[in-house]
Amino acid sequence: MKVSVIQQPPVYLNLGKSLERAVDLIGQSAGQGAELVVFPEAWLSGYPTFVWRLQPGAGMGKTDALFSKLQANSVDLSQDGLQPIRDAARDHGVVVVLGYQELDGEISGSTLYNSCAIIDADGRLANNHRKLMPTNPERMVWGFGDGSGLNVVETAVGRIGALICWESYMPLARYALYAQNIDIYVAPTWDSGATWLATMQHIAREGGCWVISCATALEAADIPKDVPSRDELFPNEDEWINPGDAVIYRPFGGVVVGPMHEEKGLLLHDIDVSEARASRRKFDACGHYARPDVFTLHVDRNPQSPVKFE
């Protein structure tokens, strides 16, 4: 089964054009034989890297303008905002894992979440996961997710689960996925570099699963001129804001392709999904190595809402 890991930027903070680009990239991937297409964290419509460049307090006025643009270019599932992606997945017969920014259109109409969708080859939204804990200044723009999306789902290419960026540092969140017979662990991220790659290697060994990780390869030149405070935030046109580092690790560890560093394109590679469960003969974190008489884990999968209707 061939995987295509997307290491192309979106049209930053432009939802309509980013959706068009995503559909095109899915088509390109399918045209090269891919059955699974993976996008980075918050790819729709661009990770809000400005939260790491503005000071809380002094920079809040600028954050407000940027948040407003971010909000206007986020996806509302209550309005079927991922329909173009679902249609592309169905038309090309591919599974898509997509990091995106989700607007809560049902409760508040304004809160944003860092979300990851798994869309099956028939165009069905198989799972939607909201990042449990936004990291450091990310809390200036994103709300907290819940356990309702901590699922591994059966797809046309195998059992897939996803954790977003530093959720992969959360041992219990990882275990919640391992315990669901995961074949392919997807880690859409904004992180990169040696420390992050070491974590991906560890998860492949610990979980006995394929691990696919990718961040958005983004240069300052990719930021449109109409983004508020652009010249102040990204003054060096030659800066690599994020090098990407798309990578695939085999079950029980060992890189098979990547990392794709400071380069834009598609990272394509064939994987044998059956290797995942076979690799657990030596170490099965949720099976013969689990010791359920000593350890237990409870996951609350009830969606959390501040509003209760009786």
Helix (H) or strand (E) holding 83: helix 83-92
Structure confidence at residue 305 as a pLDDT band (50, 70, 90): low
State pLDDT tens for residues 196-216: 999 999 999 999 999 999 999
Structure confidence at residue 54 as a pLDDT band (50, 70, 90): confident
Residue 301 lies in a domain: no
Structure confidence at residue 107 as a pLDDT band (50, 70, 90): confident
Residue 310 lies in a domain: no
| CATH number of domain containing 216 | 3.60.110.10
Angle at 223 between CA 54 and CA 53, to 5 degrees: 10
What is the helix, strand, coil percentage profile of the chain, to 5? Answer: 30, 25, 45
Instruction: State how far the alpha carbon of 94 is from the alpha carbons of 59, 268, 272, 278, in Å.
Output: 42, 14, 16, 25
The whole-angstrom separation of Cα 45 and Cα 224 is 12
Residue 250 lies in a domain: yes
Which residues are designated catalytic?
A: 41, 131, 165
- Taking residues 274-293, report their average pLDDT: 94
Residue 51 lies in a domain: yes
State pLDDT tens for residues 240-250: 999 999 999 99
> Which structural domain, as residue segments, surrounds residue 151?
2-279
Residue 178 lies in a domain: yes
Say if residue 292's pLDDT is above 70.
Answer: yes
Structure confidence at residue 63 as a pLDDT band (50, 70, 90): confident
Say if residue 185's pLDDT is above 90.
Answer: yes
What is the total count of domains within the chain?
A: 1
CB 3 within 8 A of CB 271: yes
Residue 295 lies in a domain: no
Residue 309 lies in a domain: no
Please report the DSSP string for 201-265 in residue order. Answer: HHHHHHHTSEEEEE---EEGGGS-TTSTTHHHH---TT-EEE-EEEEEE-TTS-EEEEEEES--E
Residue 308 lies in a domain: no
CB 204 within 8 A of CB 249: yes
Structure confidence at residue 64 as a pLDDT band (50, 70, 90): confident
